[in-house]
Amino acid sequence: MSFELPKLPYAPDALEPHISKRTIEFHYGKHHQGYVNNLNKLVPGTKYENATLEQIIKGAEGGIFNNGAQVWNHSFYFATFSPAGRREPYDKLGELITGTFGSFEGFKEEFSNAAATLFGSGWAWLVKKSDGTLDIIQEPNAGNPLRSGLFPLLTIDVWEHAYYLDYQNSRPLYIQSLWNVIDWEVVVNRYLA
């Protein structure tokens, strides 16, 4: 199986000023594409040659896992954004977020803190557990909650390549700005799936 870089559902400059066209060109066009290219070089001749990204995440180790998970994580991350989407959760997920975190603002504060305080590179995730409850987790490096049997709903990439061109070393400013482009219709649809 050959993996491909998924097309963005918006123009490269559509998320400005929150995520610049230049960041999209580097983060999506070079880093994300690089993970796809690396994975396509690594899987031929292995038991993951015809595997899905989810199968790779759940079973692989080393370079195949790292590149496969980064392809999946980045595809999921970029698909969450839109220039003009719903900016707050609603429906059952909105009620669950309010019930779990006290309010949407309380959730944003806790999620932002998880993203800001993750040491080094990695991802902050909002996940649905098998019992239907929500949790916020941190995953270092290429970590993905699918590996632990959790269902991902939302993520923030806190590798420096996600924000350095726009925010330099200010990870908190980058995180704060993302709330302006997260499309909760996408997140709610993931929850309802």
Task: Return per-residue pLDDT of the chain as tens, 193 residues.
Answer: 799 999 999 999 999 999 999 999 999 999 999 999 999 999 999 999 999 999 999 999 999 999 999 999 999 999 999 999 999 999 999 999 999 999 999 999 999 999 999 999 999 999 999 999 999 999 999 999 999 999 999 999 999 999 999 999 999 999 999 999 999 999 999 999 9
Residue spans per domain, the chain: 21-79, 91-192
Burial class (CB in 10 A: 0-12, 13-18, 19+), 174: buried
Q: Which CATH number fits domain 91-192: 3.20.20.70, 3.40.50.300, 3.55.40.20, 3.40.640.10?
A: 3.55.40.20
Pairing of strands 134-140, 151-157: unpaired
State the pLDDT at residue 178. Answer: 98
Name the percent of the chain lying above pLDDT 70. Answer: 100
Both tokens assigned to 47: 């038991």
State the pLDDT at residue 127. Answer: 98
| 26-52 confidence digits (pLDDT tens) | 999 999 999 999 999 999 999 999 999
Both tokens assigned to 153: 């709903």
Total H helices, total E strands in the chain: 9, 3
Both tokens assigned to 29: 């066009």
State the pLDDT at residue 1. Answer: 75
Element (H, E) at 137: strand 134-140
Residue type, 4: E
pTM, to two decimals: 0.97
State the pLDDT at residue 25. Answer: 98
Domain covering 21-79 assigned CATH 3.40.630.30 in the classification: no
